[in-house]
Chain A
Amino acid sequence: MSSPSVNPLREGIANRLAPEPCTLVIFGATGDLTHRKLIPALYNLAAEGALPPSVSIIGFARREKTSEQFRTELEEAARKFSRTPLDEELWKSFASSVHYHRSPFDDAEGYRTLAAEMDRLDKERGTAGNRLYYLAVAPDQFPVILDHLKASGLNRAAEGSWARVIVEKPFGKDLKTARALNGLVNEVFEERDTYRIDHYLGKETAQNIMVMRFANSIFESLWDSGHVSHVQITAAEPLGVEGRAGYYDTSGAMRDMVQNHLLQLLTLTAMEPPTSLGADAVRDEKVKVLRSLRPLRGDDVFRHVVRAQYAPGLINGQPVPGYREADGVPKDSVTETYVALQVNIDNWRWAGVPFFIRTAKRMPKGGTEIAVTFKSVPRVLFNSTGEGLDENVLVIRIQPDEGVSLRMSAKLPGSSLRIEPVKMDFHYGTSFGKATPEAYERLLLDAMAGDATLFARRDEVEEAWTFVDGIEEEWKTRKDDLAFYEAGSWGPAEAAELAARHGVTWRRL
Chain B
Amino acid sequence: MSFVPGIAVPIGGIEKELGRLWEESGDDKTRASLINLAVYNEKEGSLQTNSAIVQGIAGEHAMRAILIEADPEAEGSSADSWINMHCYPRGSKGGAVCSEQISFRLGGLAARSLQSVVFSHLDSDLPLALWWQADFRTPVDGKLWRWVDRLLFDSRHWKDPAAQFAIVSEIAALPEARTVLCDLNWARGLPVRQALAGLFDSPSALPEIRRIRSLEITHAPGFRTTALLLAGWLADRLGWKLEKSGNSFLDPSGAPVALVLRESPGASIARLHVVSEGASFEVRRDPDSEQYVTSASGKAIPSSGRMVRAPREETREILLAELARGGRHPLYAKAIISLRDLW
CB closest residue in chain B, given A50: B194
Q: Which residues of A contact B329 (CB under 8 A)?
A: 12
Docked pose: A57 CA to B252 CA in angstroms: 38
| Interface status of A7 (Cβ within 8 A of chain B) | yes
Say whether B203 faces chain A, with CB atoms less than 8 Å apart. yes
* Contact of A401 (CB < 8 Å), options: B32, B88, B91: B91
- B340 an interface residue at 8 Å Cβ cutoff? no
Do the beta carbons of A54 and B206 come within 8 Å of each other? no
Size bracket, chain B contacts? 35 or more
- Using CB atoms, name the residue of chain B closest to A92: B307
Interface presence of A53 (CB below 8 A):
yes
Task: Give A209 Cβ to nearest chain B Cβ, in Å.
Answer: 20
Most A CB atoms within 10 A — which of B34, B194, B195, B307?
B307
CB distance from B317 to the nearest CB of A (A): 12
Task: Tell me if A13 and B193 are in contact (CB < 8 A).
Answer: yes
CB distance from A161 to the nearest CB of B (A): 8
B178-216 contacts to A, CB under 8 A, are 190-191, 193-207, 209-211
Q: Which of A242-250, A281-289, A425-433 contacts B (4 or more CB under 8 A)?
A: A425-433
Interface core residue of B59, B206, B237 (most chain A CB under 10 Å): B206
Residue of A nearest to B293 (CB): A93
Please state if B331 and A87 are interface contacts (CB–CB under 8 Å).
no
Q: Is the CB of B307 within 8 A of A93?
A: yes
B308 and A10: CB pair below 8 A? no
Give the secondary structure class of A's interface. loop
Taking CB atoms and an 8 Å cut-off, the chain B residues in 286-316 that contact chain A are 290-294, 296, 301-309
List residues of A (418-437) whose CB comes within 8 Å of B's CBs.
Answer: 429-434
- Chain A neighbourhood of B60, CB < 8 A: 432-434
Residue B61 CB within 8 A of the other chain? yes
Q: Pick from B30, B304, B307: contact of A90, CB below 8 A.
A: B307
State the CA gap A11–B292 with chains docked (Å): 21
**B65 close to chain A: CB less than 8 A:** no
In the complex, whether A378 has a CB less than 8 A from a CB of chain B is no
Binary B-proximity of A1-33 (CB < 8 A = 1, otherwise 0): 111100111111111001111000000000000
Find out whether the CB atom of B88 lies under 8 angstroms from the CB atom of A52: no
The CA of A94 and the CA of B200, in the complex, are separated in Å by 18
Residue A47 interfacial (CB < 8 Å): yes
CB distance from A26 to the nearest CB of B (A): 19
Q: Which of B91, B202, B302 has the most CB of A within 10 A?
A: B202
Instruction: From the candidates A7, A14, A46, A432, name the one contacting B306 in the complex (CB within 8 A).
Output: A46
Q: Is the CB of A1 within 8 A of B210?
A: yes
User: Is B324 engaged at the interface, CB distance under 8 Å to the other chain?
Assistant: yes
Contact in complex: A21, B202 (CB < 8 Å):
yes
Within 8 A of B (CB), among A274-329: none
Interface status of B253 (Cβ within 8 A of chain A): yes
B327 contacts A by Cβ under 8 Å: yes
Kindly list chain A residues whose C-beta atoms are within 8 Å of the C-beta of B97.
430, 433
A433 touching B61 in the complex, CB below 8 Å, given contacts A3-B206, A124-B302: yes
The reply on B330 being an interface residue by CB < 8 A is yes
Sample of 4 further A-B pairs with CB below 8 A, known A13-B197, A431-B32, A432-B60: A47-B309, A52-B201, A430-B62, A434-B324
Sort A-B residue pairs by CB-CB distance and give the 5 closest, nearest first: A93-B307, A433-B60, A126-B202, A9-B197, A49-B308
User: Which residue numbers of B lie inside 8 Å of A, CB to CB?
Assistant: 30, 32-34, 59-62, 88, 90-91, 97, 190-191, 193-207, 209-211, 234, 237-238, 252-253, 290-294, 296, 301-309, 324, 327, 329-331
Ordered by A's residue number, 19 sampled pairs between the chains whose C-beta atoms are within 8 Å are A1-B210, A8-B209, A9-B234, A12-B330, A49-B306, A49-B308, A51-B306, A52-B198, A53-B201, A53-B305, A89-B291, A89-B307, A124-B303, A126-B202, A126-B203, A401-B91, A430-B62, A432-B61, A433-B59
